[in-house]
Copies of this chain bind each other. A is one copy, B any other.
Amino acid sequence: MILSKKMENANAGASMVRKMFEEGAVLKARFGADKVFDFSLGSPDVPPPPAFKETLARIVAEDRPGSHGYMSNAGWPGVREKVAAYLTRDQGGALRNEFSADHVVMTVGAAGALNVILKTILDPGDEVITPRPYFVEYGFYAANHGGQVTAAEPGENFSLSVEAIKAKITSKTRAVLINSPHNPTGVIYSADELAALGRLLTEASRELERPIVLISDEPYRKLVYDGREAASVFPAYPYSVVAYSYSKDMSLPGERLGYAAVNPDMPEARLFFEGLCLANRILGFVNAPSLMQLVLAELQGVHVDIDLYRRRRDLFVEGLQKIGFELTVPSGAFYLFPKSPIADDKAFVNLLKEENILTVPGAGFSMPGYFRICYCTSEAAVKNSLPGFARTFERAVKAA
């Protein structure tokens, strides 16, 4: 009676997640934290880059007047200019127009950016298509603003299936939400896949007589391996907007800084930007945290040592494949999404727990039959967990 009906239901669901964490905490208390292999949470364990610490200390020492004060809802103009210049360089001339400060809204992380974007565009009942598997919060974000998520099947090896997205388009489709590099699979969508998606959306928008917005959630954009680069949605489709965060690649998830970047080739870019600013204000963000804006503006393109994550990935991929797990080798982010050796992924995750290994069932990403491993842990933890994975694999396969 004290919670709204929606929140009462959501809270009951959230209790299951809490239960999982509580069980993990019990295991750690019982066996010691170093004896529990916690691969459940995508919380970067690598410290922020030294340049972050230096810049933070310097800017605090400078004590610029007004540096903690009021600003435009979009963020400090000088900060947005620096981000815009970085985005323009990053595009390398692929767009007709350059980014300016008025294409960038600094936000409270990528989660803030996604909510601001959805608030800006969703009318009641509107649909947001997203490929399966997907981050469970997307459903909440769409529902916050009267919309709902429609899941589309992935292509082979979790590639982007434009056909599958096409099959889900209805008269209520307002946006397509993608995430590349992808949580939980680590897949990167290719420029060709994005171009094909762009063509589909151009055609569908014409038929619907309303632009479908392509939202690209890119907190892992810089966390890529093997010389790969994450292709950009901007050249693929003018009605695109990127939600970015410094949380993952700078290891600053608690500071909540990111941005929404509007494609400068979007015909209504100015109006869309104004909508984002207003949404940022009225949703109660008002503006992104000031000091972190000033610090991170000076660190465009800087990121943590990605090789640390790459080494863990290699260890895990080799070890798990040797055991017999089927998996797509991730090209980015810090997750693995192997197939569960038995159909019931929740049962398999429970078996792993008996080996003090914590993972997340694929059902949590609307994709049963798989499970997610996050390698935001030490290399030692990766190595030492492998015998437990091997024993659980044997047990599960034998029992099946």
Contact = CB atoms under 8 A, between A and B. Distances in A.
Nearest to A42: B70
Contact of A279 (B7, B123, B278): B7
A68 B289 CA distance: 13
Given A70-B41, A291-B291, A108 B285 contact: yes
Contact of A115 (B67, B137, B283): B283
B47 A56 contact: no
B41 A65 contact: no
A33 interface: no
A48 interface: yes
A271 B1 CA distance: 10
24 contacts: A2-B121, A2-B239, A2-B268, A2-B275, A3-B272, A4-B121, A4-B126, A7-B120, A7-B275, A7-B278, A11-B275, A44-B69, A48-B68, A53-B63, A67-B254, A68-B251, A71-B254, A108-B256, A119-B144, A141-B284, A254-B289, A255-B289, A255-B291, A284-B285
Q: Copies per complex?
A: 2
Given A4-B123, A11-B271, A14-B274, 20 more contacts: A2-B272, A3-B120, A3-B272, A4-B120, A5-B123, A7-B121, A7-B278, A10-B278, A47-B65, A68-B254, A69-B252, A137-B281, A144-B282, A254-B290, A256-B285, A256-B286, A256-B287, A283-B284, A284-B285, A289-B289
Contacts of A288: 256
A278 B137 CA distance: 11
A292 interface: yes
A111 interface: yes
Contacts of A7: 119-121, 275, 278-279
A58 B251 CA distance: 21
Contacts of A14: 274, 278
Contacts of A211: 1-2
B11 A111 contact: no
Interface in A110-151: 111-116, 119-123, 126, 137, 140-141, 144-145
Interface in A1-40: 1-7, 10-11, 14
Interface residues of A, number: 76
A60 interface: yes
A41 to B, nearest CB: 7
Interface of A: 1-7, 10-11, 14, 41, 43-44, 47-48, 53, 56-57, 60-61, 63, 65, 67-71, 108-109, 111-116, 119-123, 126, 137, 140-141, 144-145, 210-211, 213, 239, 251-256, 266, 268, 271-272, 274-275, 278-279, 281-292
A115 B3 contact: no
A302 to B, nearest CB: 14
Contacts of A109: 284, 286
A2 to B, nearest CB: 4
Q: Nearest 3 CB-CB pairs, A to B?
A: A254-B290, A115-B284, A140-B282
A346 B112 CA distance: 35
